[in-house]
A and B are shown apart, each in its own frame.
Chain A
Amino acid sequence: MLLEVKNLVKEFGGVVANADISLEVEEGRIMGLIGPNGAGKTTLFNCIAGYYRPTRGKVFFNGEEITGWPAHRVAKIGIARTFQGMKTLPNLTVEENVMVGAFCQTSDRQVARRIANEIMELLNLRDEASALPTELPIAIQKRIELGRALATKPKLLMLDEIAAGLNPIETKEIIQTLKRIKEEKGLTLFLTEHIMEFIMSISEVITVMAAGRKIAEGPPELVAKEEKVIEAYLGERYAKGRSD
């Protein structure tokens, strides 16, 4: 198992953002994490990636316990992440953005530049190399963020709402891109989204969260039919009405 989360609890004061979450991500798989707004998806990501320290529970990566490790250490052992919303490095060019990621594996600037160029080629960013990210459209900024994460040479790539703000065509494109780089780089993907269509069309396994709890898990077509999931998304009455 590449990533294992065991009985993870995260509380903020009295608010329980993650209650007893356990999940496993198998190597080479695409795992989706869905749930309505406020379900605790990003909190779980932050606990795994070292931005929050879990209140209880454990996180294992490749068999090694990484619970409570600081974010930079988590990044070094092979977990890369992207952020919800746009988080580029605004004063660095696109090339430099990706290069900073590459410095995770090397101290040599020439090597870092070469890695950055390979990744920009892969993500079709060559033409924007010397532009500043904030001058570019959202879809391209998403690719920059993806490229920067890829440049750290991760085993596991965690994407927090990568399709948010994209139109249907751009969403389709990013699904194609993700599937392609996953094959080429031998990656494992773990992504969150609250848009059903996106997650359903890309994930092999789906975990559903609602109000801080895990409520379902399984292949997309089965999860989509589960009553608890429909309830979480559309409310109890809709679910009841359907089953009648």
Chain B
Amino acid sequence: MRQLLIDIFSFEDRPRYERIGFLIFIIIVIIFPWIVKSAYGRAVMIKFLLFALFGLGWNLIGGYGGQVDLGQAKNVGFGAYATGLMMLWWGVPFWITVPVGMIIAAAESFGVAYPMFRLKGHYFAIATLCVALVWKELFVFWDWTGGARGVEIPIRSTPDFIYMQFGSPIHYHYFIFFLFITQLLFMNWFRKSKLGYECQAVRDNEDVAASLGINVYRTKVIAYTITGGLGAVGGSFMTVYYLYIDPDFVMPLDLSILIAMTVMVGGAGSMWGPIIGSALLIPLDMYLGAWLGAKKRLGIDFMIYAVIMMVIAAREPKGIWGIIERVRKKRVG
């Protein structure tokens, strides 16, 4: 038990400069809403934390597990709809809808992982993309999900901590920060766990992993299932933050790609990669959205992402974090 708590909360094994950097980051996030008063600035920050949260979850399968999953939006959708529909129909408190959404997303991931991991590499990536698109179409098609019209959450007259509705963005800021930190601590435990090492071994070399007694197939299925559950948390947050969800908003292809992109740009398979990637891409994404306006729909943002992705893949597969590590190593010796 004691060891478990240490594994969750301790960053002792990381070098000093990482821990100091992380501490500075935490302090900045905490004081941010007191310094930045503009609604837009605060919204960017919340979106950044949301995508950092998504990235942390995706990093498990995509970074540590080495399986490129281009369908994380489906899990976001499951979380968002679980929260939205349960609140709308039965008035279930937010904190109960979160685990339900996670279980639904994890169960679905487990189910589809079974056949999907018969595929490898690019074929697996395409399969994940297709599954997510099928789910999106189903959510548009079905009546009980509200179809293309989506789900609107009734607005409460008073702010409360049961349904997580607040008048000010400051509350949402600390709310998403809390969710982000819990996921970060989970990943901190994961990367040191047996499962974490098994995932990394599978990523680096499947034959070697098997020779060390690791069931490669089972490891991938478990990692994909957990990633599914983690992805749902941010979806639940989106429901109570935006108070309106529809399939185009919470489960589109753009979302899946952007989640994967943030991690790859930041550094897949490293603790800080998702945070760095989101810090770079989310403000860029919002800036492009404001700058291009309706033209964003033409896919100009996608073209820009594609260029970034190609540069990363060709020059530095380990992302920005890979560059930082390399520079540091050169300095040390």
Q: Which residues of A contact B (CB under 8 A)?
A: 49-51, 70-72, 75-76, 80-83, 87-92, 96, 99-101, 103-104, 107, 109-110, 112, 148-149, 151-152
How far is A100 from B269 in the complex, measured between Cα atoms in Å?
A: 16
A148 contacts across to B, CB distance below 8 A: 208, 212
How far is A148 from B209 in the complex, measured between Cα atoms in Å?
A: 10
Contact of B204 among A71, A82, A91, A99 (CB under 8 A): A91
Assess whether A149 is in contact with B192, with CB atoms less than 8 Å apart: no
Assess whether A109 is in contact with B212, with CB atoms less than 8 Å apart: no
A151 contacts across to B, CB distance below 8 A: 212
A50, A70, A103 interface centre (most CB from chain B within 10 Å): A103
Assess whether A100 is in contact with B201, with CB atoms less than 8 Å apart: yes
Assess whether A75 is in contact with B212, with CB atoms less than 8 Å apart: yes
B214 contacts across to A, CB distance below 8 A: 72, 100, 103-104
Q: Which residues of B contact A (CB under 8 A)?
A: 3, 7, 192-194, 197-198, 200-201, 203-205, 207-216, 269
Assess whether B213 is in contact with A76, with CB atoms less than 8 Å apart: yes
Assess whether A91 is in contact with B200, with CB atoms less than 8 Å apart: yes
How far is A93 from B3 in the complex, measured between Cα atoms in Å?
A: 23
| Known A87-B207, A89-B204, A103-B197; 14 more pairs at CB < 8 Å | A75-B210, A80-B212, A87-B208, A89-B208, A92-B197, A92-B200, A100-B198, A101-B212, A103-B198, A103-B212, A103-B213, A104-B212, A104-B214, A109-B192
A/B interface sample: 18 pairs, CB < 8 A: A72-B215, A75-B211, A76-B213, A82-B211, A83-B208, A87-B205, A87-B207, A89-B204, A89-B205, A89-B208, A90-B204, A91-B204, A100-B209, A100-B212, A101-B212, A107-B194, A149-B211, A152-B213
A80 contacts across to B, CB distance below 8 A: 211-212
Known: A89-B205, A100-B201. A112 touches B210 (CB 8 A): no
Assess whether A72 is in contact with B210, with CB atoms less than 8 Å apart: yes
A72 contacts across to B, CB distance below 8 A: 209-210, 212-216
Assess whether B210 is in contact with A70, with CB atoms less than 8 Å apart: yes
